[in-house]
Structure formats: structure tokens, C-alpha cells
Amino acid sequence: MGDMPPIVEVRGLGTTWYRRGFAYWRKRAFVAFFMVLGLACTTWFAVTVFVVVAQKTGSWARIICLTVLALGFLWSVVAGVLALGRRRAAIVSGAPIDIGDAFRLALGRQPTTGTDRSLSVVSTSGSVVARLLYPFASVFVVGWMLALVVVSFGRYLNADEMIAVNNALSWFQQHPEFPNDQRPKQFRR
């Protein structure tokens, strides 16, 4: 047995999760800022698509397009809420998962293997068609971005951080002789 709990590097946070000091909160604020910015941009694109369709199409085309867009928007929000529910259930069961895998499970798909491509990757590729369809596709991504914002303001940033904290916590529980004043605040008795 070592004299210190296991302090592993966590994706996106390094070892700052252990003490949760200024560096940790700076990284969390940075992630949260970009998640909110992504939600704002995606929402702006989605609203722009709704407005353009409402103003530039004929009566039947307008009704059909707005119905499809509204259903896509509602689907994205429902999928985001389902993903948050899946993530919460996984955390409660003791098998935390990232929001991306929870989203895939909520849609009835398998968790990622790291080879899938996101909309942001496609939109920055050389395909002009993908770039032109990105504002339209944003209607279907708003709920996903909202789920990412909720997660970025949560207690833990990702599943790796939850696992690292749980491992350190169980180490402290197995070593009650470790002085309380030398423990980070999140692990004090």
C-alpha cells in the first residue's frame, strides 16, 4: 500500500481534480464557457433556419418545413433529456458513462469506439454540402448541446473524473489513519 491515494490523470483535467483548486475551476469554467457558446451558436443557427423558412417559403412548403424543423428540434431536446437520464442512472448504478455514450444509448446505438465523426468535424471538412447543411442540422443538435451545457455545470466533468474521485474516496475510507487536515476538502471527514 502507498502513502497517498491514487492520483491519476483525468482527460481534460489532468490531476487538478484531486485538490479542486484554482487550476481545476479555471478548466471547468473554460469548458462551461465553450459549451454555452456552442449552445448559443447552435440555437442562433436553428432560429435563423426557422425564420428563413417562415419568411421565404410558400404556404404549404412553409407548413411542411416548419413542422419538420419543429419535430427535429423537439426530438433533439427529448434525446438530450433521455441522455441525461441515462447518464444519471449509470452514475447511480456505479458505472458512470460520458454524456456522449449516454446520448448514443438513448438513441438505441452502441457506445462509441472513437471512430465516429461529429457535425463539427464534418462542417470543417472540405465538403461544401456539409457546410451548407450545418445550419439546418443545428436544429437537430440543440438538445444535445443543451445536455452538454448541463453536464459542464455538473459536479463532475466526465466519467473519468467520477471514477478517479470514487477510487480516491475508497482509498481514504480504507486508510482512516490518513490525517484529515492533509486531505483535500472533498475527501475530508
pLDDT at residue 59, rounded to an integer? 87
- Reported as a single tens digit per residue, the pLDDT across 102-138 is 877 777 777 665 444 444 444 444 456 656 666 667 7
pLDDT at residue 9, rounded to an integer? 94
Closest Cα partner for 83 from 143, 162, 155, 157?
143
The DSSP symbol for 182 reads: G
User: How far apart are the C-alpha atoms of 14 and 21, rounded to whole Å?
Assistant: 12
Low-confidence ranges of the chain (pLDDT < 50): 1, 114-126
pTM attached to this predicted model: 0.76
